[in-house]
A and B are shown apart, each in its own frame.
Chain A
């Protein structure tokens, strides 16, 4: 099979794959196909260059980023090593599976949030311990609906969650919120938002402190109350404020999160 045939097969199967191409410098057009847990296929013209680019490509793939990187002909990356060397410019094209959003709590806001998250390309799972609420019929827009307490879910999928993924806890019920926050904090998930009024938030922080969640390294990860301070009223507006906060947390832009403001949440 040619590299293109292998690449096309992986794209059709929605398997994570990165394609590195020399776009400028010696060996223009050379290809290296990189996948997690597999040996790279092809060569960029030098074994050390292949090794360094394969490593970088896996990083780019995890971040779902595509872009150009510069190397020396033998994979040099430090400026001193690159003096008097031709530059090899390499385009790394990443194809990562969609980011995940886990919504805990089958409440009024859940359907709207699931809909907006789908528009943004998330794979959405709705999870609630109450069988009567967590039904496919109520959440046809979700990719999956799971009836479970939070802990087994995080035991099951916690290792899969990464910086691009989001956990949104909408239950307002400490019985469910506290284990969901504990579970989310045990993962590398990029965004953790927890819904509730400012009073609910204060009480929840007390409950979390009782189970030992007091360290700034944990508490600072929580966006609580969830969402931006845009005066959202309806479930749909709230969903937009949550998704906008997720985008801003990824891009590092400073925006008025409810967590960092005071006063009424709804205008």
Chain B
């Protein structure tokens, strides 16, 4: 989260709504450790990363859906064991669990 603070401060100053996705758990080989985070604004700006670039696109979609009120905040899982693996998978074969929520706290 630390490396996102500057972008978040700038967006907050501009009155942007922001969603934050954090890696909370990994199974097998995951590219980023728990705590790795990424922030997405309602206008689609992005900072940080939660994998080696494998799932960021899908995370942006999920974050925007949460900001739009279409999806509840919660845990989202990406990985080989998941049905989605072939659509949005991790090339390393691991599984990552993300918690995605609005930064309204």
Contact = CB atoms under 8 A, between A and B. Distances in A.
A136 B22 CA distance: 40
B24 A12 contact: no
A68 B1 contact: no
A91 B21 CA distance: 12
B105 A29 contact: yes
B5 A12 contact: yes
B25 A68 contact: yes
A7 B35 CA distance: 14
A95 B2 contact: yes
Q: DSSP majority for the B interface?
A: mixed
A89 B24 CA distance: 11
B33 A31 contact: no
Interface residues of B, number: 20
A29 B73 contact: yes
B47 to A, nearest CB: 14
A93 B2 CA distance: 12
B2 A28 contact: no
Nearest to A24: B75
Interface of A: 2-4, 7-8, 11-12, 21, 23-24, 28-29, 31, 66-68, 89, 91, 93-95
Interface of B: 1-2, 5, 8-9, 22, 24-25, 33-35, 72-75, 97, 99, 101, 103, 105
Given A11-B1, A23-B75, A68-B34, 9 more contacts: A4-B103, A8-B5, A28-B73, A28-B74, A29-B73, A66-B34, A66-B35, A68-B25, A91-B22
The 5 closest A-B pairs by CB, nearest first: A66-B34, A66-B35, A91-B24, A23-B99, A11-B2
